Amino acid sequence: MDGSCTLELDQQEIPIKASLSLQADGRLATHFPMHHSPLGVPASFPSVLVGQEIASAFEKAIHENFPRLRGTGLYEDIGQEIAIGSPLSVRVINQQEFEKARHRIPKKDLEIVAKVSG
């Protein structure tokens, strides 16, 4: 489960897409593009710098609109081990919340608004 989205600040769209990816803990993580140096991690840097308040508000808004899934591990209640490559059907905790979010995703006008103060 992954995807991308645009970020708009004060009615100004940032021209670079943020990516979303499912993490081992069952949450969607947000990432901005990076310039990757041939020297590796020490010389790589983000393409877009956003303040901590904006990054936190963005991540909070994503978490509020997309339900947490089961993270990796052994689940006795379902009698299964969940790995990174496990299908979403076994990772869903609340089917109703998941379906609600899933039906919102294909809509081109999906908009999530987060207030930032600071």
Is 117 contained in some domain?
Answer: no
Residue range(s) defining the domain that contains residue 34: 2-104
Is 89 contained in some domain?
Answer: yes
Token pair in block for residue 106: 């294909």
Mean pLDDT calculated for residue range 65-85: 91
Which residue type, as a one-letter code, is found at position 73? G
Taking only the tens place, the pLDDT of each residue in 30-73 is: 888 888 888 877 788 888 788 888 888 888 888 888 899 999 99
Rounded to two decimals, the pTM is 0.70
Number of domains present in the structure of the chain: 1
pLDDT of residue 75: 93
* R_g over Cα of the chain: 16
All residues at 6 or more sequence positions from 85 whose CB lies less than 8 Å from its CB, including other chains: none
Asked if 53 and 117 count as a contact pair (C-beta separation under 8 A), the reply is: yes
DSSP-derived secondary structure letter, 77? T
Is 111 contained in some domain?
Answer: no
| Mean per-residue pLDDT over the chain, rounded | 83
